[in-house]
Structure 1
Amino acid sequence: MSETVQATAAKVDPAPGNNRWKALAFIALAQLMVVLDATIVNIALPSAQQDLGISDGNRQWVITAYALAFGGLLLFGGRVADLWGRKRTFVTGLFGFAAASALGGAATGEAMMLGARALQGVFGALLAPAALSLLAVTFTDAKERAKAFGIYGAIAGGGGAVGLILGGFLTEYLNWRWTFFVNIPFAILAAVGAYFVIREPEGSRNRSPLDIPGVILSTLGLVSLVYGFTHAESDGWGDSVTIGLFIASAVLLAAFVVTEAKVKSPLLPLRVVAERNRGGVYLSLGLAIIAMFGLFLFLTYYLQIVKGYSPVKTGFAFLPMIAGMITGSTQIGARLMTRVAPRLLMGPGFLVAGLGMLLLTQLDIGSSYASLLLPAQLLLGLGMGTAFMPAMSLATHGIEARDAGVASAMVNTSQQVGGAIGTALLNTIAASATTAYVASHAAGATNQQLLQAQAMVHGYSNAIWWAVGILAAAATIAFTLINTGRPGAGSVTAASGDGVEDEIKVPVVAH
């Protein structure tokens, strides 16, 4: 069989020679655009709100519309990529994202802006899983895969901080509209490059009929979950709408699991998430994102409100974290991935990030950037970069080619849901601690402005303690659930959706 496998694998090699690395450049560019878009608009939001006359009550929808569409449709987007072709889905998603960004940049009112953000989320849900699954089927050699996922992991982890820098620069020196327009050249360059460079393996599509009940249940369930956390942040955890959304989400997602276990061609084959290593990756990655997204929010407010940094200076203050992520992902994770078991990178990585977070619990009004924030960010970046890289690779490792899109969508789903939970949960904890601090110190306070600043920092410090615990939980899950040995190259049989078995050389894990 081995001669047949190798001969057929050579025939379907998706990107021979240097084309693989050219393909990586365009895939990475698209991923950077999607990830930074989650934070780039945050810094521009006050200016956009003023220009477009968006009310304070509806302001959050500029962020929420994107998160709901993106998070809710990711599984559907991953299945479309498997069914329709990853390259075609990727290119369509990019052109759609560019058009939605143009609409957002040209927005003349609230409705146009919210519609553009929702459209960005829809097309982002198409291209994000297609990008990761293309990477999974393009890089099949263990060493090349390690390098490719090192770069991808650095972008997935550090893109949010890049968005803060770019958002600050564009808002301060140009106009908030450029936080949307900047996506257009990114998207067009990535789409055109991908069209000419990327070659997808033949026979790797899943041509099974689309699971319509699964699409409806998963989309409504995920939208309810993401919106529930977003609503909790603004209206409280005890609000009847918040509780109703969480109950609806639990019922819908439970019905989705039951449906997927029974239908012939499920949207999310349960074998994708039931495998303990992939399940461990989705859980630990989601928890790590909860901690990181909350931190981005706190540090942005701390630097701008307490320290008085400009938007641009705030963005550049995140550079150590980006440098740490790039180093951890490309120099530590990528170099060790083919030598040590994934859990021995992910577990320690989350612990190092937790140590950086632990330093930030010492935050106060007079904290020095050089002696506290800089080393804490370096540790966070190094730890998360080291952990993200094997996590991204393991999430699609040994997967059948026909499931690559939906497995990739699960990675993005864990990130999106984690981001929504992190922002809502940690922000609520911080706000409660801030209110309690003001109430207990108001009587003896002579300077109300100083009291408010002290209360705010106290709230951040309390929430960061929770983030430390969450990262410790992520490390525990990585150590206990992920039990594969170091990655090795091998071949498995991938069955395409039309019932034809194609021998495709993809990575498997050596136990």
Structure 2
Amino acid sequence: MEKRSQQDEEVAQKSEVVHEEPAPISIVKGVLLTTCCTLSLAMMSMTASAVAISLPSAGKELSIPEDQLQWLLSAYALSSGCLLIPFGRLADLYGRRNVFVIGCLVQGAFSLGSGFSNDLVTIAVLRGIQGLGGAATVPACLGILAHAFPPGHARSLAFATFSAGQPIGGAVGFLLGGTLTEFAPTTWRTMYWVISGISALCILMAFLYVERDGPSTEVDKRVDWIGAFLVTTGLVLIVFVLSDGEIAPQQWRTPYIIALIIIGVACIALFLLWQWHLERPEVRETYSIWTPPPLMKLSLWTRGKGKFAAVQIVVFTLFAGFQSWILWIVLYYQNYQGYNPIQTMIRMIPMFPSGVICNIIIALIVAHVDGMLIIALGCICTAIAGILLALINTSAPYWAFGFPSAIIVVIGADFVFAGGTLFVAKLALPHEQSVAGGLYQTMAMLGQAFGLAISTIVFDRVRSTESSKLGVTIDKLGLNAPREAQLKAYRATSWTMVGFSLFAALLAVIFLRGVGILGGAHPKPDAEATSEDSATEKVGEEPGSETSRTRA
């Protein structure tokens, strides 16, 4: 490896900048920009819920076996969830608006193609490529909002509004997807084309209301493709194993499941080791194809005296519980109570206005209430929702247990998502906003996959054990399990969800003490992050030189 040339050093010295907060923007422009980002997040949520409710119709028309229908959802989730960090880095380097537009274009184009597909392989591949657009869009949005709004009430309101896109999109997806599948001549295909139209609208709004990013202030604009390959491969394999481990031929003892989890964990370990290597000062003093800037600086996890890492673990654990609630209450309504999809959908509707109200509350209180209290309260509320489901009286009316549970469960997801996003944005420096946001989303995605895997294991084990006690040997699908055994299994998954949520609350109380006001105009975490980053990034100088390179 060769030392940086004199020309490189001169460029580095000229590129030294001061980290400044973004200048305030007009109210009208801020509203339109936030609307654009919120609509894109709503589109992603809408895609998931609309496809989920249309699975039976698509499977019937395309003759897709029931156990393979999950790939219409999984293909999108794998690509969109596992590429957030690499796309976050690309957004920070080459322009958040550029990556946002490309992401929306990919989502729209391949959603359009999915609507014309006539077999499982084609639609699964197109859905997987469509997920690349989602992976590009989300971190770009977070970077756009953090860059456009200085810390303060306007930023808090923007992030709260952005967070509201998820429940709104989910509601519209369920309602519109179910309606179009039932009544439109093109049934399940129609919603794919609607998503394509929304993508086009997002692109138009981005060109009109999102400012083009200025040139990146980083001196070294190379991308760590080795790190991108390792982290993406590792996450894809881990998420796949968590999703398929329980339904594999020999469950978790299946040879390919064991092999893939070992390879996935090894890739993540190598990724972390590689990032540590690239961040070392002696490595940063050299310039070669083997020394690009790290994709994700491990020092980022130590920001705010370790609170950055704490909030990542909290969102991982909380979303493990939240996603478990979503899955098992739907299955309880349909498989145990015998409701059809429309009846189940109606019982889920209270989640969505509750989610919108939660985000309005966040916008109002985030500048006045300690962040630890907001996040911990959210986790406790989600735990209460799980307790209601665990103690549900099967003969009681919906309003006694199901309704309050649906109202309360979203408080945790929305409070933690909005509060944690604000906190991460404060600890990340200007050129790290999209990467930090992508990492936060990745932890939430991994938490969901982990929660579903653990709760599925609990359900299967309890159902099998209770059936055996009653002298019944259940079949592979468990359709002949006694109702008593099924109910105990559903209760067990609910208690598992409660455990996840309470553990997240405990982590918040212990490790997020001192976080302070998340929506303040002059947050302490930002100053700490800037100081820490400046101390670690004065690299690239020749030995003995009095000048040093500081990356922006």
Q: Is the 8 A contact 1:72 1:222 kept in 2?
A: yes
Q: Is the 8 A contact 1:85 1:205 kept in 2?
A: no
Q: Is the 8 A contact 1:306 1:365 kept in 2?
A: no
| Equivalent in the alignment of 1:4 | none
Q: Is the 8 A contact 1:14 1:198 kept in 2?
A: no
- Does residue 1:243 correspond to 2:272, yes or no? no
**Which letter maps to 1:277?**
K
> How has the CA–CA distance of structure 1 residues 104 and 22 changed in structure 2, closer, same or farther, with 3 Å as cutoff?
same
- Does residue 1:214 correspond to 2:249, yes or no? no
Q: Distance in 2 between matches of 1:396 and 1:28?
A: 17
| Equivalent in the alignment of 1:138 | 148
Q: Is the 8 A contact 2:100 2:140 kept in 1?
A: yes
Q: Distance in 1 between matches of 2:416 and 2:437?
A: 17
| Equivalent in the alignment of 2:416 | 387
TM-score (ref. length: structure 1): 0.89
Q: Distance in 1 between matches of 2:78 and 2:479?
A: 36
Aligned length: 492
**Which letter maps to 2:460?**
A
Q: Shift of the alpha carbon at 1:462?
A: 0.6
Q: Shift of the alpha carbon at 1:201?
A: 5.1
> How has the CA–CA distance of structure 1 residues 171 and 205 changed in structure 2, closer, same or farther, with 3 Å as cutoff?
farther
> How has the CA–CA distance of structure 1 residues 449 and 75 changed in structure 2, closer, same or farther, with 3 Å as cutoff?
closer
| Equivalent in the alignment of 2:45 | 35
Written as runs of structure 1 = structure 2, the 5 A alignment for 1:42-81 is 42-81=52-91
Per mean C-alpha deviation after superposition, the further-off stretch among 284-293 and 23-32 is 284-293
| Equivalent in the alignment of 2:135 | 125
| Equivalent in the alignment of 1:352 | 381
| Equivalent in the alignment of 1:254 | 269
Q: Shift of the alpha carbon at 1:323?
A: 2.2
- Does residue 1:324 correspond to 2:354, yes or no? yes
Q: Is the 8 A contact 1:347 1:475 kept in 2?
A: yes
Q: Distance in 1 between matches of 2:446 and 2:316?
A: 7
**Which letter maps to 1:261?**
W
Q: Distance in 1 between matches of 2:372 and 2:43?
A: 29
Per mean C-alpha deviation after superposition, the further-off stretch among 185-194 and 267-276 is 267-276
| Equivalent in the alignment of 1:475 | 505
> How has the CA–CA distance of structure 1 residues 205 and 21 changed in structure 2, closer, same or farther, with 3 Å as cutoff?
farther
Per mean C-alpha deviation after superposition, the further-off stretch among 383-392 and 466-475 is 383-392
Q: Distance in 1 between matches of 2:19 and 2:391?
A: 58
| Equivalent in the alignment of 2:515 | 484
**Which letter maps to 2:192?**
F
| Equivalent in the alignment of 1:172 | 182
- Does residue 1:339 correspond to 2:368, yes or no? yes
Written as runs of structure 1 = structure 2, the 5 A alignment for 1:88-237 is 88-156=98-166, 159-160=169-170, 162-174=172-184, 175-200=187-212, 202-204=214-216, 206=218, 208-235=221-248, 236-237=251-252
Per mean C-alpha deviation after superposition, the further-off stretch among 48-57 and 347-356 is 48-57
Percent identical across equivalent pairs? 25
> How has the CA–CA distance of structure 1 residues 280 and 165 changed in structure 2, closer, same or farther, with 3 Å as cutoff?
farther
Q: Is the 8 A contact 2:38 2:164 kept in 1?
A: no
> How has the CA–CA distance of structure 1 residues 414 and 449 changed in structure 2, closer, same or farther, with 3 Å as cutoff?
closer
Q: Shift of the alpha carbon at 1:217?
A: 0.6
The DSSP-based 3-state class of the residue aligned with 2:252 is: coil
> How has the CA–CA distance of structure 1 residues 36 and 480 changed in structure 2, closer, same or farther, with 3 Å as cutoff?
farther
Q: Shift of the alpha carbon at 1:443?
A: 6.3
Q: Distance in 2 between matches of 1:501 and 1:191?
A: 31
Q: Is the 8 A contact 2:425 2:433 kept in 1?
A: yes
Q: Shift of the alpha carbon at 1:500?
A: 7.9
Q: Is the 8 A contact 1:353 1:379 kept in 2?
A: yes
Q: Shift of the alpha carbon at 1:486?
A: 1.1
> How has the CA–CA distance of structure 1 residues 219 and 251 changed in structure 2, closer, same or farther, with 3 Å as cutoff?
same
Q: Shift of the alpha carbon at 1:390?
A: 0.9
> How has the CA–CA distance of structure 1 residues 118 and 433 changed in structure 2, closer, same or farther, with 3 Å as cutoff?
same
Q: Is the 8 A contact 2:378 2:411 kept in 1?
A: yes
**Which letter maps to 1:423?**
L
Q: Shift of the alpha carbon at 1:258?
A: 0.9
- Does residue 1:273 correspond to 2:304, yes or no? no
Q: Distance in 2 between matches of 1:452 and 1:88?
A: 55
Q: Shift of the alpha carbon at 1:170?
A: 2.9
Q: Distance in 2 between matches of 1:396 and 1:261?
A: 23
Q: Distance in 2 between matches of 1:221 and 1:501?
A: 29
Structure ranking higher in helix proportion: 1
| Equivalent in the alignment of 1:287 | 317
TM-score (ref. length: structure 2): 0.83
Which of 444, 455, 466 aligns to 1:426? It is 455
Per mean C-alpha deviation after superposition, the further-off stretch among 310-319 and 119-128 is 310-319
The DSSP-based 3-state class of the residue aligned with 1:253 is: helix
CA RMSD of aligned residues (A): 2.8
Q: Shift of the alpha carbon at 1:388?
A: 2.6
**Which letter maps to 1:227?**
F
Q: Shift of the alpha carbon at 1:189?
A: 0.9
The DSSP-based 3-state class of the residue aligned with 2:246 is: helix
**Which letter maps to 1:176?**
W
Structure 2 residue runs without a partner (length 5+): 1-17, 279-283, 285-292, 541-548
Which of 465, 469, 473 aligns to 2:495? It is 465
Q: Distance in 2 between matches of 1:20 and 1:80?
A: 24
> Which structure is larger by alpha-carbon Rg, 1 or 2?
2
